[in-house]
Structure 1
């Protein structure tokens, strides 16, 4: 973080915030109707999209501040105005939990609408989007704006109405999927998004960092032999640790020599890695990943006979979302539930590249400064830390680290029991469903009542959270109870010291730890936090397994006392930092690979839009046809090769003349003849109909070829990591191979399109033709061909005679 720049920004924000406070007093005399009238005045003044003057910015913030007070009875505080100005400046505002981020968002949403921008506000989940649209959106409506909610279930017509709103609330993924769907439409009338002007990200670190490791993908099912997954699952049931190698740090697994031999014996093949056995190695590896890398009740749960993914960042189940590359099918085989067909990627984009297409991005979160460098390097966003409105009264106690999980569990139970006696509510945070259930069992043994919140009982979330701040309540939760969860304390709990947050493990990132801690001490409430850990923590095992094992084996007896020494705390801190660095590398690598695909997809999407916008496709089709035919005459060196290529182009349909004659014409005359033949055929259709048909054929062709291209790219990605072992940069290899593939994709698109055009059935009799022809188009082309006629009927007859002679 640039401290000098940050201080300069804060000085300016403070100055403007003081002006807003002073100005807002003048609007206390406004009638309610005057608020929307003033909004209308500014919207007309700034309809061209120019920035607001300083005076109008101050006035608009002041007017909105008074509107907030009238509608919900709150007055935006001085520091909240500072946060709003940071958002207006295109920064990420770090505001501690309970400091009113939702209220702050209104100011920049309002000012961006006044500038004539389409405004999107994105939250981490649907619940928050719905809540904010209802609770806060009404303030913007009071100001004369239209506020809508972007939901996945909406039809195309409903989506278009949603995007007509001034301010649109929704999840990041839904906006991203709308973008992808807009680039898959067959008609311009089906496009829903109206521009990527400005986006405000609530919980910006969750969206831009945590979700960045998972690209957005639109897919469809493809048929395949599902029994392979069942057979591979039977193979894995015979495996032991000597059959595979497992890298915990990089979360990868591969077959050992024993595993390869066992697999070849099972599949009854001599070489598992030969080209004809690619389907077998793929089935084996997906089964191996499903069994070794994917943990039930951590990565996924089984609900109602289905494998359901659990979001590792939020702890929430995600019904409907499926793993790609056969992993979901392998998990279904592993869990003995119905196996469904795998998906084929139709369109994809990473979160990083989607947001970098917006003209302006701002964000807010309670935890951003730890990732300030990544925000700046990837998104060109600066982080501004906003001072708190109220003093934080929470006490963050020193962590305790025990040697074993058993000792850790007992210490957590003792801490909860102590709080129960004092009447303080306790929130115990875990990073998996398994851990939450384990702690629940320990509390059961001691007769301590509790509520448990995880992906298995997410329907009870609202009820559990509503009670979590009452006297003596014990709540065990995965990170579902972290970000965005507002635990409100009753008066009795406040008097007894507030909410106690106990962390049962360190998360993959310090940000997630801080999100959990932040559930206590909101808005100046009392409370405390404490992490109670063990050397058997998964994080520690992954990143310092050797030293962890040596230390763990030094003493075998249970002492039920926390370990002492700086070394222990450093061990845990280093493991977390290593995980953060690893996850950053994953996000960075994903972006590097996607940058290559993103440039290509933007070109393809632009080409699709160009075709959909065309009123006539004749010149476009002629250019492609000329290029394809010219390439055949130049590229193919022998007459025989030319004949084969031309036959392929016509896909078995009769040519307009013997192929030998066409080849003998040579490049110039042969291409000219084919273009003339195309134009004559084209005249047999109504001009509108043929243009529409050619548009549809090209869109269909480019989509078919793009799906195939994406499938091949995924195949390259799967094998690209092995190149690193050969001292070859995988990224350079990926770029080279995808460039080759992309050039082939373009050639395949053009060739397939020309084949569809040349093999298009056309009316053959004058009677049929008369009904289909656009006579103006007939006259124009006949003039080009040098054919003269006295009447429309004569024109049609002569055109047919000309065609039949050919």
Structure 2
């Protein structure tokens, strides 16, 4: 994106600071390594006592710049220093591909360590984490700091050693899973993750926006009748368009009255919405979603009898990842492959909510300005566009829009043929595997040799990208080739105009289009980009606007037989408006989902705080007695008008215990007498256990109950979420009802595990204890 007026003002201020850094480039030149390390230690002590000033930052950056020059042979240029100042202020730096973001990260990491913060650097994958740790980590180590690499598959001791480092490289998933695992341990000393002080995120838009809703799940197997998915698939295949309705934008599908009646006849039940038939309603809804919302070769791909998710933003298959809450099983039934067991969630957090727990965030990426509103709203971060070091020499041509898909296909072949005959390398971008294969067919018919890159052959990605910049090479790729890929050009290609990028569709997000265009014209190289579109494209098709629809129909009737592009500013405006509208719609969906996620996030924090508080207590006498008293006050409450209900609760609490009073005796006591008798007896029983033993037993019992019932509560919240949108038909706000009923479920969950803990305390038998 181009710089705004505000960007230019901010960059001007930072440019003045960057000039001051460059002026001091000789200041540390004569210092040897030990002297630079001494300076680091001096600053570490100094900044424990006072804040870092602007003047301090200039000297700190000058030292880091000198260390990078020595260790990796890279001397930060003005725009990189500007980017570093932006990151240091907790903002997102938008820097074009090839501008050296990896080097920029060094400056902000070093200064955050001097502030006394633990630093986490998050990359898109483990390969990049390892690469950057080896390159930039060497500079930090040269300055006397420790650097760790957080990867999967390590044991507790290895993880704890890594988290002692000053800077830790890793992926969002690995840091998130460490957090979840830490909140499942039984002893504080088994935790691995240290404080969440500062995180620097590479490809920030991808991780904080595109991946933000991805839940990180720790799960085990869930007992379930998997044959039901196949049965429900049979039902859904009989559904006609009058039986259901699809809201594609909001990702909802629901049954009309005719569909409900059909489902009830099929399952042989009176009401699909009765509580006892919730499992059948759930599985019917899952198959509806699988058939009418999830599309093969767009949302997922079937390879070797396995359903693999396709990342909508990178176009890559995600082996090992599964849609949760039964959707993956529904898709497997739809595609006729083996339906595998559904998992039961033990712990979960979204990437978004994990990163919001850090005290300070900053990020860098090539495309973020278009989502600045979202970054501000959710993360309280501004986006600053950093100017390029070298002028961008890529020529971005205006879009060519055709009336039909067939005309667009012919135009793509004409454009590619002309460029191919010149020997110019070409990258053709498509939005899905389906359109990728369609363009490939057109090129084969035209006799144009090409290489194809999509989720079905992702293992060949490195070889395909390595060849993409060679003379005469045509590469056809989904948006896998849009982010993080560096296409190096052959020498002879520069005179031909560099890499030509042809987009065959506008994506739902301008960022993805900009990433595709950014493969060309890197670091001052020549380049060329053009998008060839049609009025039949999915983007335009999803644009729900009656005025535009009638205009498009008129245009097609009038000019459909002409193979020339549409020469109408109105049509070009339509494409831009459709894209902006979809971006806004997707943002609203993410905001809506965040609001739902915040309900479970608040509950999770309360549960984890409770666990941490318990893990920190060695003597549980007062803790256990408090819960026992609270439960007893409720059970023996004289405010309960229903005597049968009151006696049932008493029986449930005291049943199976050795409480020395009979049930009849207890019913004759006042509330206060019953509570004090219970507490007195509990204290007496506790003294019969060795002190360390009773504390350990109570802690284990409490944690077991809390963890088991938290898993059951998460499952209830999933079921509540799945059906909550139906409340809109009863003139109720689904979010408000989810918040209200979710709070009621959480209160019930807390009451139940406290009750079972109180019952377990009364069941403890010192005579049955085996010591050894």
Q: TM-score range by the shorter chain?
A: over 0.9
Residue in structure 1 matching 2:585, options 573, 582, 586: 582
Tell me the residue number matched to 1:433.
433
Q: Does 1:563 align with 2:566?
A: yes
Matches within 5 A, 1:277-296: 277-296=277-296
Tell me the residue number matched to 2:695.
691
Aligned equivalents of 2:254, 2:218: Cα separation in 1? 29
Q: Does 1:250 align with 2:250?
A: yes
Q: Does 1:652 align with 2:653?
A: no
Local SS of the residue matching 1:452: strand
Tell me the residue number matched to 1:743.
747
Aligned equivalents of 2:103, 2:694: Cα separation in 1? 55
- Which stretch shifts more, 441-450 or 248-257? 248-257
Tell me the residue number matched to 2:503.
503
Matches within 5 A, 1:606-685: 606-634=609-637, 635-637=639-641, 641-685=645-689
Local SS of the residue matching 1:27: coil
Structure 1: runs of 5 or more not aligned? 773-806
The Cα of 1:637 is off from its aligned counterpart by 4.1
Tell me the residue number matched to 1:135.
135
- Which stretch shifts more, 571-580 or 616-625? 571-580
C-alpha contact (below 8 Å) 2:306/2:337 kept by paired residues: yes
Aligned equivalents of 1:480, 1:81: Cα separation in 2? 30
Tell me the residue number matched to 2:557.
554
Tell me the residue number matched to 1:801.
none
Tell me the residue number matched to 2:186.
186
Matches within 5 A, 1:356-755: 356-544=356-544, 547-548=548-549, 550-551=553-554, 553-554=556-557, 558-634=561-637, 635-637=639-641, 641-755=645-759
The Cα of 1:5 is off from its aligned counterpart by 5.9
Aligned equivalents of 1:660, 1:24: Cα separation in 2? 89
- Which stretch shifts more, 20-29 or 755-764? 755-764
Tell me the residue number matched to 1:99.
99
C-alpha contact (below 8 Å) 1:642/1:663 kept by paired residues: no
Shift in alpha-carbon separation, 1:26–1:646, aligned structure 2, 3 A: same
Local SS of the residue matching 1:164: coil
- Which stretch shifts more, 259-268 or 357-366? 259-268
C-alpha contact (below 8 Å) 2:501/2:516 kept by paired residues: yes
Tell me the residue number matched to 1:345.
345
Aligned equivalents of 2:643, 2:380: Cα separation in 1? 57
Q: Does 1:17 align with 2:21?
A: no
Aligned equivalents of 2:529, 2:51: Cα separation in 1? 44
C-alpha contact (below 8 Å) 1:535/1:552 kept by paired residues: no
Aligned equivalents of 2:696, 2:304: Cα separation in 1? 46
Shift in alpha-carbon separation, 1:387–1:241, aligned structure 2, 3 A: same
The Cα of 1:551 is off from its aligned counterpart by 4.5
The Cα of 1:638 is off from its aligned counterpart by 6.2
Tell me the residue number matched to 1:798.
none
The Cα of 1:236 is off from its aligned counterpart by 2.3
Aligned equivalents of 1:545, 1:477: Cα separation in 2? 31
Local SS of the residue matching 1:76: coil
Aligned equivalents of 1:551, 1:677: Cα separation in 2? 87
C-alpha contact (below 8 Å) 1:400/1:533 kept by paired residues: yes
Aligned equivalents of 2:270, 2:649: Cα separation in 1? 38
The Cα of 1:691 is off from its aligned counterpart by 0.8
The Cα of 1:88 is off from its aligned counterpart by 0.8
Tell me the residue number matched to 1:115.
115
Deviations 1:63-88 (A, max 9, x none): 11112112222211011101100111
The Cα of 1:556 is off from its aligned counterpart by 8.3
Deviations 1:459-495 (A, max 9, x none): 1111111111111111111111112211111211112
- Which stretch shifts more, 698-707 or 726-735? 726-735
CA RMSD of aligned residues (A): 2.2
The Cα of 1:606 is off from its aligned counterpart by 0.7
Aligned equivalents of 2:479, 2:342: Cα separation in 1? 30
Aligned equivalents of 1:520, 1:150: Cα separation in 2? 33
Deviations 1:780-805 (A, max 9, x none): xxxxxxxxxxxxxxxxxxxxxxxxxx
C-alpha contact (below 8 Å) 1:126/1:171 kept by paired residues: yes
Shift in alpha-carbon separation, 1:563–1:638, aligned structure 2, 3 A: closer
Local SS of the residue matching 2:169: strand
The Cα of 1:553 is off from its aligned counterpart by 5.0
Aligned equivalents of 1:475, 1:38: Cα separation in 2? 51
Shift in alpha-carbon separation, 1:56–1:660, aligned structure 2, 3 A: same
C-alpha contact (below 8 Å) 2:392/2:524 kept by paired residues: yes
The Cα of 1:39 is off from its aligned counterpart by 2.1
Aligned equivalents of 1:143, 1:448: Cα separation in 2? 54
C-alpha contact (below 8 Å) 1:521/1:527 kept by paired residues: yes
Local SS of the residue matching 2:223: coil
The Cα of 1:521 is off from its aligned counterpart by 0.8
Matches within 5 A, 1:36-185: 36-47=37-48, 50-185=50-185
Tell me the residue number matched to 1:778.
none
Deviations 1:495-514 (A, max 9, x none): 21101111111111111111
C-alpha contact (below 8 Å) 2:300/2:309 kept by paired residues: yes
Shift in alpha-carbon separation, 1:762–1:173, aligned structure 2, 3 A: same
Tell me the residue number matched to 1:793.
none
The Cα of 1:319 is off from its aligned counterpart by 1.4
Aligned equivalents of 2:646, 2:665: Cα separation in 1? 12
- Which stretch shifts more, 270-279 or 90-99? 270-279
Aligned equivalents of 1:269, 1:742: Cα separation in 2? 31
C-alpha contact (below 8 Å) 1:407/1:558 kept by paired residues: no
The Cα of 1:649 is off from its aligned counterpart by 1.2
The Cα of 1:630 is off from its aligned counterpart by 1.4
Deviations 1:730-778 (A, max 9, x none): 22222211221221121112101111221234325xxx78x68xxxxxx
C-alpha contact (below 8 Å) 1:643/1:660 kept by paired residues: no
Aligned equivalents of 2:655, 2:674: Cα separation in 1? 18
Local SS of the residue matching 1:152: coil
C-alpha contact (below 8 Å) 2:291/2:334 kept by paired residues: yes
Shift in alpha-carbon separation, 1:641–1:336, aligned structure 2, 3 A: closer
Length-normalised TM-score, structure 1: 0.91
Shift in alpha-carbon separation, 1:637–1:245, aligned structure 2, 3 A: closer
Aligned equivalents of 2:628, 2:357: Cα separation in 1? 34
C-alpha contact (below 8 Å) 1:350/1:591 kept by paired residues: no
- Which stretch shifts more, 355-364 or 127-136? 127-136
Shift in alpha-carbon separation, 1:399–1:242, aligned structure 2, 3 A: same
C-alpha contact (below 8 Å) 1:148/1:169 kept by paired residues: yes
Aligned equivalents of 1:215, 1:42: Cα separation in 2? 40
Shift in alpha-carbon separation, 1:650–1:316, aligned structure 2, 3 A: farther
The size of the alignment, in residue pairs, is 767
Shift in alpha-carbon separation, 1:694–1:557, aligned structure 2, 3 A: same
Aligned equivalents of 2:330, 2:626: Cα separation in 1? 47
C-alpha contact (below 8 Å) 2:659/2:681 kept by paired residues: no
Shift in alpha-carbon separation, 1:631–1:13, aligned structure 2, 3 A: same
C-alpha contact (below 8 Å) 1:639/1:663 kept by paired residues: no
Aligned equivalents of 1:552, 1:478: Cα separation in 2? 30
Aligned equivalents of 1:462, 1:730: Cα separation in 2? 46
Deviations 1:330-384 (A, max 9, x none): 1111122221222222223333322221111111111121122221122111111
